[in-house]
């Protein structure tokens, strides 16, 4: 979860659950369910610990007036429906879905009444999570990364860094249903620039080094990492491998350059940080609030080391 998405989700739950000031008496009891399609460690790195700490600052303390129930599918999507039913049986006030869109889809099939907030979706309209960004409908809302549109911008950044690169490797996750959406956008941008793409599917992290080595031997002059949640945890080893191979690499994750890698496009947005964006009211009283973009091609920050 990027820092902006963390702010939005915390704001949604904190402000609209009658939060209290620091040092004040704890607020009313709250039960949050987290349904994650990935490994627990990936979600922890995506900011759940920081999310819990922020709720504590607002007066919601786990074990006092806050209960958090988590279920992790460990990359086994077939387990998600059962895990969703387990969480719903606990009667949570809200369900946060993390990882791939399959977690949100499973929660939607299990309940049409409990508010669902997804923390990452590339194109929630195309994948059927919502009717539209402006009017999502139902009991679902959340944050879209718009990584499909940003993929073209990241490819453009590579051509600026390495103008002679006519062959670029693209790192993708085969377990992310939205990979095809991102690849389609990147493919269109590559064809317009007459760039050849070599797609590297990484499901087993142990294959990362050999895949990058094979790509460079085949002639790839740069690497583009798509913004799939399953790839988030690879930032550090990927940065080290890219530096070792002297392979210019652009990633969707802001942690990538922090780990020693090359530039990244860091998503940001001012519109959704507006204090008037009262998400919890939207979830509990008028569930047709707009989907909040955590980034857009016009609001990306180019950062490098």
291: confidence class by pLDDT, cuts 50, 70, 90: low
What pTM did the predictor assign?
0.72
Distance CA 259, CA 280 (A): 35
Q: Tokens 């950044």 appear where?
A: 157
Beta bridge partners of 116: 95, 140
- Mean pLDDT is highest, among 37-46, 53-62, 188-197, 281-290, for 188-197
**What pLDDT does residue 206 have?**
86
> Measuring CA to CA, which residue among 158, 157, 176, 177 is closest to residue 167?
158
Tell me the two tokens of residue 211: 């895949």
**Average pLDDT across the chain, whole number:** 76
Sheet holding 116-118, edge to edge: 66-72, 30-36, 94-98, 116-118, 140-144, 292-293
**From CA 233, how far away is CA 146, in angstroms rounded?**
20
pLDDT, tens digit (0-9, with 9 covering 90-100), for 9-34: 554 554 444 444 444 455 578 898 99
- Domains delineated in the chain: 3-146+267-300 (3.40.50.2300), 147-265 (3.40.50.2300)
- For the segment 261-284, the average pLDDT, to the nearest whole number, is 39
In angstroms and rounded to an integer, the radius of gyration of the C-alpha atoms of the chain is: 20
pLDDT one-digit tens code per residue, 134-171: 888 889 888 777 777 788 888 988 888 889 999 999 99
pLDDT confidence of residue 90: 97
């Amino acid at each position: 979860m990027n820092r902006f998405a963390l702010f939005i989700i915390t704001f949604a739950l904190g402000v609209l659950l009658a939060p209290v000031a620091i040092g004040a008496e704890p607020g009313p009891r709250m039960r949050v369910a987290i349904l994650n399609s990935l490994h627990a460690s990936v979600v922890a790195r995506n900011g759940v610990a920081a999310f819990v700490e922020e709720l504590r600052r607002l007066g919601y303390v786990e074990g006092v007036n806050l209960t958090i129930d988590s279920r992790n599918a460990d990359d086994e999507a077939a387990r998600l429906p059962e895990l969703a039913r387990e969480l719903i049986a606990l009667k949570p006030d809200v369900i946060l879905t993390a990882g791939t869109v399959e977690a949100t889809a499973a929660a939607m099939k299990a309940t049409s009444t409990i508010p669902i907030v997804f923390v990452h979706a590339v194109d929630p309209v195309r994948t059927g999570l919502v009717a539209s960004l402006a009017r999502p409908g139902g009991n679902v809302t959340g944050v879209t990364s718009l990584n499909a549109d940003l993929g073209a911008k990241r490819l453009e950044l590579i051509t600026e860094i390495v103008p002679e690169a006519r062959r670029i490797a693209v790192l993708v996750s085969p377990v992310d249903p939205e990979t095809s959406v991102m690849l389609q956008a990147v493919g269109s941008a590559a064809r317009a620039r007459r760039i050849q793409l070599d797609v590297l599917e990484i499901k087993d992290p142990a294959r990362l080094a050999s895949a990058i080595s094979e790509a460079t031997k085949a002639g790839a002059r740069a690497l583009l990492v798509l913004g799939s949640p399953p790839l988030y945890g690879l930032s550090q080893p990927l940065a080290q491998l890219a530096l070792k191979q002297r392979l210019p690499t652009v990633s969707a994750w802001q942690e990538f350059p922090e780990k020693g890698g090359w530039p990244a496009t860091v998503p940001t947005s001012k519109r959704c940080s507006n204090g008037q964006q009262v998400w919890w009211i939207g979830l509990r009283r008028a569930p047709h609030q707009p989907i909040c973009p955590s980034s857009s091609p016009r609001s990306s920050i180019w950062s490098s080391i």
